[in-house]
């Protein structure tokens, strides 16, 4: 309580003793009331606090038919052809949170079965694992589809043998014509022996890429032609397009619906939580489930999560890096988790945004402001404060009457711990660094307060700095006239620093020498400047600007 009050009322810091007496009495009085009485007082006097509290408690709505299943099982299934970005956050966070909410199982499954057009890359398997760990979404089981090809072949073999799938040799144009006319292609109604022969030929490598495809039977008059007899397994020339994990060992590769559909059943998926663009895939897969006598899991489809002003599509990200528009996957202008992490967005903020949005079929557009406001709540409570002056300008204060010892608290909640400075005037003169912006805004005759130090009156602005006269020490003297409070750094105690901005430009300045002790990835607040994430400390401090 003492810390909170002092944080909001800096002027009371000299009266800590009296204050703690008053606070103790009030706390004792509140503690003597029943919980109901306490709630009633809050509701009556601060209704907005109550509402805010309720909003913070927001939980996910229950899953459909949850009690039908023994172990609630969900999955996240990325293609390791790129790093993850904010667009994946919904699938990851919702699937993980639901599994946790029901004490169930969360599975990660790498869907890496297209070595030709959506070619996976080895580096991204690990990058994705790292992204999930950073998000705090631990998985209970991991699968890689390129390890499971023979499982898919076996089930395809069964479907062909049962007459529920067939090897089609038609060229795409022929097949399309037949399908649009709601008619069977010549392959569909072949005898069991003919189809088994084709399947053996396919397994033995008797077809070239493009010469044959396995199709799963559906109703030929399904209203959506794209559903009719969908393709399930095709040939890829892996001599030409080797897979990063299994090279040229396999040439039969499942298409999305076959592999995902089979795995969801075999892995015991109970709830599939995914984007609504997958709705027709569900319709396709349900035919296969029917053929195999399986029960389709509960499927929940949500809308897209867009964020204004961030490049979110994989192709744009990859192309931008290739062309040199972005430095790498962690370029601060991108919406990748690597970039968000680098610029100080916390995983807690991302999770909270997603849970608050919940599962809705409509598209949701988030702004950086929304994400930042979630992030600020988390950072504000935990980040230590320091001073930073960008484009520093020298400030000479004259007529300082005495030496001063100041403690600048790391955080309003810990008023007794902080950065300490002994300032000894030389002939009444103190020299400090202030920011270029503050210096620019000053006018001769104006009164300014140096934060936590003393008040000054500006005497003169010159090209080589600003001169001011010591006015008084107490904040109380100037509080009512609402003077500007500015940060400062004693000359000689500065530490060169650069802050990478969100547009990738760099701002130079001085931070306090205390910043030398910071650790990489620590997020701090430069007062009156913003939150920054420490990237490295060395000759110079390097930080990434996070947000206001
Ligand atoms: Zn055919």
Query: What pLDDT, in 10s, does the model give residues 159-172?
Result: 999 999 999 999 99
Residues 120-148, mean pLDDT to the nearest whole number: 97
pLDDT band at 133 (very low <50, low <70, confident <90, very high): very high
Distance 117 CA to ligand 1 centre (A): 24
Distance 212 CA to ligand 1 centre (A): 8
Write down the pLDDT at residue 386. Answer: 97
Distance 284 CA to ligand 1 centre (A): 18
Distance 113 CA to ligand 1 centre (A): 23
Rounded Cα–Cα distance for residues 346 and 339 (Å) = 11
Extract long-range pairs of 292-295: CB within 8 Å, 24+ residues apart.
292/155, 292/158, 292/159, 292/164, 292/265, 294/265
Distance 220 CA to ligand 1 centre (A): 13
Distance 155 CA to ligand 1 centre (A): 20
Distance 253 CA to ligand 1 centre (A): 18
Write down the pLDDT at residue 448. Answer: 96
Of 59-68, 89-98, 355-364, which range is least confident?
A: 355-364
Distance 287 CA to ligand 1 centre (A): 19
pLDDT band at 404 (very low <50, low <70, confident <90, very high): very high
Quick: pLDDT tens for 327-345: 899 988 888 999 999 889 9
Rounded Cα–Cα distance for residues 18 and 27 (Å) = 14
Res. 546: pLDDT tops 70 = yes
Distance 286 CA to ligand 1 centre (A): 22
Distance 213 CA to ligand 1 centre (A): 9
Rounded Cα–Cα distance for residues 384 and 375 (Å) = 15
Write down the pLDDT at residue 12. Answer: 82
Rounded Cα–Cα distance for residues 226 and 207 (Å) = 25
Distance 160 CA to ligand 1 centre (A): 14
C-alpha angle 470-472-478 in degrees, rounded to nearest 5? 115
Distance 170 CA to ligand 1 centre (A): 4
Distance 178 CA to ligand 1 centre (A): 9
Distance 210 CA to ligand 1 centre (A): 12
At residue 390, the 3 state secondary structure works out as: strand
Write down the pLDDT at residue 306. Answer: 79
pLDDT band at 23 (very low <50, low <70, confident <90, very high): confident
Distance 185 CA to ligand 1 centre (A): 5
Quick: pLDDT tens for 157-213: 999 999 999 999 999 999 999 999 999 999 999 999 999 999 999 999 999 999 999
Nearest by Cα to 157 from 198, 192, 199? 199
Distance 266 CA to ligand 1 centre (A): 29
Instruction: Please tell me which of 235-249, 402-416, 476-490 the model is most confident about, judged by mean pLDDT.
Output: 235-249
Distance 263 CA to ligand 1 centre (A): 27
Distance 175 CA to ligand 1 centre (A): 6
pLDDT band at 35 (very low <50, low <70, confident <90, very high): low
Please provide the DSSP assignment of 372-384 as one string: HHHHHHHHHHHPP
Write down the pLDDT at residue 11. Answer: 80
At residue 264, the 3 state secondary structure works out as: helix
Write down the pLDDT at residue 186. Answer: 96
Tokens of 251: 């040439």
Res. 51: pLDDT tops 70 = no
Residues near ion ligand 1 (CB < 5 Å) are 168, 170, 185, 187
8 A C-beta contact, residue 228 and residue 220: yes
Instruction: Please tell me which of 235-239, 275-279, 339-343 the model is most confident about, judged by mean pLDDT.
Output: 235-239
Tell me the helix, strand and coil percentages in the chain, rounded to 5: 35, 25, 35
Write down the pLDDT at residue 176. Answer: 95
Write down the pLDDT at residue 34. Answer: 66
For residue 175, give the H/E element and its range: helix 172-180
pTM here is 0.81
Write down the pLDDT at residue 93. Answer: 95
Distance 267 CA to ligand 1 centre (A): 32
Write down the pLDDT at residue 357. Answer: 84
Distance 234 CA to ligand 1 centre (A): 13
Residues 387-404, mean pLDDT to the nearest whole number: 97
Higher pLDDT: 152 or 85? It is: 152
Distance 169 CA to ligand 1 centre (A): 5
Mean pLDDT score across all residues of the chain: 92
Write down the pLDDT at residue 49. Answer: 64
Higher pLDDT: 437 or 479? It is: 437
How many residues in the chain? 548
DSSP class of residue 247 equals: B
Res. 1: pLDDT tops 90 = no
Rounded Cα–Cα distance for residues 161 and 139 (Å) = 36
pLDDT band at 527 (very low <50, low <70, confident <90, very high): very high
* First-residue to last-residue Cα distance in the chain: 26
Write down the pLDDT at residue 236. Answer: 98
Res. 352: pLDDT tops 60 = yes
């Amino acid at each position: 309580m003492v810390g909170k009050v002092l944080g909001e009322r800096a002027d009371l810091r000299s009266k800590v003793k009296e204050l703690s007496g008053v606070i103790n009495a009030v706390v004792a009085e509140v503690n003597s009331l029943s919980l109901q009485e306490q709630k009633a007082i809050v509701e009556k006097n601060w209704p907005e606090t109550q509402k805010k509290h309720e909003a913070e408690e927001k939980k996910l709505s229950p899953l459909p038919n949850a009690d039908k299943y023994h172990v609630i099982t969900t999955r996240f299934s990325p293609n390791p052809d790129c790093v993850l970005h904010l667009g994946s956050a919904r699938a990851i966070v919702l699937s993980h949170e639901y599994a946790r909410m029901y004490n169930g199982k969360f599975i990660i499954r790498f869907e890496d079965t297209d070595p030709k057009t959506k070619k996976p890359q080895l580096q991204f398997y690990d990058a994705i694992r790292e992204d999930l760990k950073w998000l705090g979404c631990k998985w209970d089981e991991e699968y890689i589809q390129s390890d499971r090809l023979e499982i898919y072949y076996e089930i395809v073999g069964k479907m062909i043998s049962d007459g529920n799938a067939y090897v089609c040799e038609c060229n795409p144009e022929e097949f399309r014509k037949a399908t649009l006319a709601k008619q069977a292609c010549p392959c569909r109604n072949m005898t069991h022996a003919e189809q088994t022969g084709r399947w053996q030929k396919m397994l033995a490598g008797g077809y070239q890429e493009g010469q044959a495809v396995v199709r799963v039977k559906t109703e030929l008059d399904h209203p959506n032609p794209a559903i009719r007899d969908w393709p399930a397994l095709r040939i890829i020339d892996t001599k030409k397009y080797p897979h990063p994990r299994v090279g040229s060992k396999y040439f039969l590769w499942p298409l999305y619906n076959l592999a995902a559909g089979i795995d969801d059943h075999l892995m015991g998926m109970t709830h599939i939580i995914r984007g609504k663009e997958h709705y027709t895939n569900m319709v396709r897969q349900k035919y296969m489930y029917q053929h195999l006598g399986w029960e389709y899991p509960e499927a929940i489809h949500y809308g897209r999560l867009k964020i204004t002003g961030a490049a979110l599509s994989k192709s744009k990200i990859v192309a931008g890096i290739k062309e040199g528009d972005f430095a790498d996957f962690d370029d601060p202008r991108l919406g990748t988790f690597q970039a968000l992490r680098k610029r100080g967005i916390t995983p807690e903020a991302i999770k909270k945004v997603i849970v608050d949005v919940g599962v809705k079929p409509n598209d949701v557009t988030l702004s950086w402001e929304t994400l930042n406001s979630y992030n600020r709540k988390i950072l504000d409570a935990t980040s230590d404060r320091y001073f930073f002056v960008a484009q520093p300008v020298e400030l000479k204060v004259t007529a300082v009457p005495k030496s001063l010892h100041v403690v600048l608290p790391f955080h309003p909640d810990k008023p007794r711990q902080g950065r300490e400075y002994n300032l000894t005037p030389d002939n009444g003169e103190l020299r400090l660094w202030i920011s270029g912006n503050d210096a620019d805004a000053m006018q001769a005759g104006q009164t300014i307060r140096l934060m936590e130090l003393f008040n000054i009156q500006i005497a003169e602005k010159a090209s080589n700095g600003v001169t001011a006269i010591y006015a008084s020490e107490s904040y109380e003297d100037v509080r009512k006239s609402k003077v500007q409070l500015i940060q400062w750094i004693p000359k000689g105690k500065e530490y060169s620093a650069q802050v990478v901005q969100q547009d990738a430009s760099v701002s130079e300045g001085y931070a306090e020498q205390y910043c030398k002790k910071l650790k990489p990835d620590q997020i701090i607040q430069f007062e009156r400047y913003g939150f920054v994430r420490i990237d490295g400390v060395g000759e110079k401090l390097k930080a990434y600007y996070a947000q206001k």
